[in-house]
Structure 1
Amino acid sequence: MQVKHDGQWIRRLSALSKLYFTPTFLGAEYIDASRPAMYVGNHSMYGIFDSPMLIDYLYNEHKVAVVSIADHSHFYVPLWREAVKKFGAIDGTQHYVRTAMQQGYSILVFPGGGREVLKRKGEQYQLIWKQRYGFLKLAQEFNYDIVPFAALGGDEVYEIGFDANKIVQHKYFQTLLKVPQLKKLLRQGDVIPSLPKRLFPKRLPFYFQFMPRQSMAQVHTQEELIAFRQSLQHHIYTGLAELSVLRQQGQ
């Protein structure tokens, strides 16, 4: 498998976001390009503004050979697929991720995936990880540390005008989900997006906080794996809270 990083493309695409959202990056001391790691954090609504800045920061500023794990849907559309690949993204199947790790790439993963991107009302900055543990098992397999990070700003650039729950919770839609093929295609309704009130995003500062590396060397049982994931989520929520205070102080 060949990862197709294009540093200039990454820099150009993130430049507009950086100019508009003036990001602040904290915790650079926890980024080490010489030691592959798995960078794990929260995904913003629609995921189109913070992700390019984050990848640009890791790849161009810190020379971290980072591979982004992308939803399968990104690779269905030919032109869009090529654009995504230039950011070093790969289809999020375990085989592809394992291959990237075998080649020594660091991994950028949003465990909430597409569902966390397609947030509904009341889900601002919520981690929607469901029962996903595969990313942690892969980190264990390759002895990768976990570097948690928190991203503040992305869930506030849009105000939801139409809540997807109005469709997903409707009795007729629930009837459709009883058909196995439709349930799989619609991912139990997870692919239904909420719509913003306005297309133009609000201009506000973005903040990214990287946190200390977490080793999984002491995780052996399923119970310990569950506890580790809970601790990881706690670190991210704490980071978001600290960034919110920092923003209120105008720093």
Structure 2
Amino acid sequence: MQVEHDAKWIKRFSALSKLYFTPTFLGSEHIDASKPAMYVGNHTIYGVLDAPMVIDYLFNEHQVAVVSLADHSHFYLPIWRSIVKKFGAVDGVREYARTLMQQGYSILVFPGGGREVLKRKGEAYQLIWKERYGFLKLAQEFGYDIVPFAALGGDEVFDLGFDANHIVQNKYFQKLLKIPQLNKLLRRGDVIPSLPSHLIPKRIPFYFQFMPRHSIMQIENVEQLIAFRAEIQHSIYNSLENLKQLRSQKTK
């Protein structure tokens, strides 16, 4: 399977973001280009500000050819699809991921997917992973360590002017979701976006924290898998709180 990693494009595209958001990366000692891993983190609102900087940092600073498993919706529009592919992203289909892992690529996963990107009011920095465990099963199948990471900043650059809950929780919309075809198309309302009150993002410093690698090979049953995922989530939440404290100290 061919992956379109365009190093120059990645560096050029993320350069503006880095100038604007002045990102700080921590935990580089947990990044090892010689051993493929699955990088798992939180996705910030709209998903176009944090991911490019993570991919750029891993690819151009650490020579980790990471492939991002992207939401299917990214591949519906021809021009946008081409841009996404230049960042080494592929449609997040399990068989695609399996093929890439067979080829030895590291994988970038945002388990919250499209729903975590389309946050609503009060959901800043929430992990909306639902019942997703497939990424962990893939990591175990190929012996990949999990490298959790936390991204701070992205959920604060926009104030939401329109909350998607106004539509999703509407009784008439809920009736529409009872139609199976519409429910599937709208993903139970998950694809309805909240809209920002301003188009230009606030200039807030971004922080990224990579955490120690976790082996998943000791998992033997569903209960252990659930506990392992909860541990990963807990480490991301803790890291986000630590990054908030660090940012607060630096801005005093």
Shorter-chain TM-score range: over 0.9
Determine the structure 1 residue equivalent to 2:126: 126
Q: Deviations over 1:182-214 (max 9, x none)?
A: 000000000000001101100010000000000
Distance, in Å, in 1 between the alignment partners of 2:112 and 2:50 is 15
Q: Is 1:28 equivalent to 2:31 in the alignment?
A: no
SS in structure 1 of the partner of residue 69 of structure 2: strand
SS in structure 2 of the partner of residue 178 of structure 1: coil
Structure 1, unpaired ranges of 5+ = none
Distance, in Å, in 1 between the alignment partners of 2:204 and 2:72 is 30
After TM superposition, the structure 1 = structure 2 runs for residues 77-156 of structure 1, keeping only pairs within 5 Å, are 77-156=77-156
Distance, in Å, in 1 between the alignment partners of 2:250 and 2:64 is 29
Distance, in Å, in 1 between the alignment partners of 2:140 and 2:218 is 10
Distance, in Å, in 1 between the alignment partners of 2:136 and 2:169 is 32
Distance, in Å, in 1 between the alignment partners of 2:136 and 2:118 is 23
Q: CA deviation at 1:218?
A: 1.2
Q: CA deviation at 1:223?
A: 0.2
Q: CA deviation at 1:160?
A: 0.7
Distance, in Å, in 2 between the alignment partners of 1:232 and 1:169 is 31
Q: Which amino acid aligns with 1:5?
A: H
* Count of residues in correspondence between the two structures: 251
Q: CA deviation at 1:138?
A: 0.1
SS in structure 2 of the partner of residue 249 of structure 1: helix
Distance, in Å, in 2 between the alignment partners of 1:192 and 1:12 is 31
TM-score normalised according to structure 2 size: 0.99
Distance, in Å, in 2 between the alignment partners of 1:170 and 1:217 is 45
Q: CA deviation at 1:141?
A: 0.1
Q: Percent identity?
A: 75
Determine the structure 1 residue equivalent to 2:232: 232
Distance, in Å, in 1 between the alignment partners of 2:14 and 2:207 is 15
SS in structure 1 of the partner of residue 154 of structure 2: coil
Determine the structure 1 residue equivalent to 2:180: 180
After TM superposition, the structure 1 = structure 2 runs for residues 64-83 of structure 1, keeping only pairs within 5 Å, are 64-83=64-83
Distance, in Å, in 2 between the alignment partners of 1:167 and 1:133 is 29
Q: Which amino acid aligns with 2:184?
A: K
Q: Is 1:157 equivalent to 2:154 in the alignment?
A: no
Distance, in Å, in 2 between the alignment partners of 1:80 and 1:217 is 37
Q: Deviations over 1:162-194 (max 9, x none)?
A: 000000000010000000000000000000000
Structure 2, unpaired ranges of 5+ = none
Runs of 4+ in 1 over 6 A off after TM superposition: none
Q: Is 1:194 equivalent to 2:194 in the alignment?
A: yes
Determine the structure 2 residue equivalent to 1:7: 7
Distance, in Å, in 1 between the alignment partners of 2:100 and 2:241 is 33
Q: Deviations over 1:116-168 (max 9, x none)?
A: 00000110000000000000000000000000000000000001110000000
SS in structure 1 of the partner of residue 235 of structure 2: helix
SS in structure 1 of the partner of residue 135 of structure 2: helix
SS in structure 1 of the partner of residue 25 of structure 2: strand
Determine the structure 2 residue equivalent to 1:16: 16
Distance, in Å, in 1 between the alignment partners of 2:175 and 2:23 is 44
Q: Which amino acid aligns with 1:156?
A: E
Q: CA deviation at 1:217?
A: 1.7
Q: Which amino acid aligns with 1:129?
A: W
Q: CA deviation at 1:50?
A: 1.0
Q: Which amino acid aligns with 1:18?
A: K
Q: Is 1:213 equivalent to 2:217 in the alignment?
A: no
SS in structure 1 of the partner of residue 150 of structure 2: strand
Q: Which amino acid aligns with 1:141?
A: E
SS in structure 1 of the partner of residue 203 of structure 2: coil
SS in structure 1 of the partner of residue 19 of structure 2: helix
Distance, in Å, in 2 between the alignment partners of 1:165 and 1:217 is 40
